[in-house]
Amino acid sequence: MSDRELVCGILDGSVDYAAFVRRYEDSVYQWSFRLVRNEADAEELRQRTFIRAFDRLGQYDPARGSIATWLYRVCRSVGLNFLRQRAAGPLYLADLPEGCASVGLGGAQDSGAERAALWQAVDSLPPNQRRALLARVLGRLPWREVAESVGCCERNARRLVESSLGTLRQAVAAGAGASGSSVYSYEDQ
């Protein structure tokens, strides 16, 4: 069954939506994981993506692209909203993707005091700075998408991230009595 037949069948009720989910569940999970770098969050995004896709399937226009392309855009939108919501609330080490517990610090030798100072400082950043920082560093989003997530141009998104990193350097240095050099410097990639 072609994608077009599948979508038409779902819309007219002759095909179960589960067939659509089965066809694209692996792709949606991979796209989601690339955004959040965490298995549990990627699974959550996959579920949210299919719920939104079901609600909006009637809006799909084959003239604008394939169903996979449309579904990718739905997944990306759901993922960016998820990252915005995460950035707007408090951040806890337990919320970090695997392997990111020391993002911003020197690595395994980092003390608990440095980590605590860092995440306390992240929580106290202004919402736009926190959102931009988390989207770029944890979400690993390109600058264009960071800018979209905070509603500004790319240049301002870069400034928000650099400003937040400066604040974090000072907070870690003051809170842990360490030099600010242990805080991550995010290079353009």
Give the CATH number of the domain where residue 63 resides: 1.10.1740.10
Q: Is the pTM of this model over 0.85?
A: no
Per residue in 47-59, pLDDT (tens digit) is 999 999 999 999 9
Residue 129 pLDDT: 87
* Residue that is last in its domain, among 42, 68, 87: 87
User: In Å, what is the CA distance from 140 to each residue of 9, 11, 55, 146, 189?
Assistant: 37, 36, 28, 9, 10
Residue 39 lies in a domain: yes
Residue 189 lies in a domain: no
* Residue that is last in its domain, among 68, 87, 106: 87
Distance of CA 107 to the CA centre of its chain: 22
The yes-or-no verdict on residue 148 having pLDDT over 50 is: yes
* Count of the separate structural domains present in the chain: 2
Residue that the structure tokens 């020197």 belong to: 106
Residue 125 pLDDT: 87
Its domain, for residue 120, covers 92-182
120, HSE (Cβ side, Cα atoms, 13 Å): 13
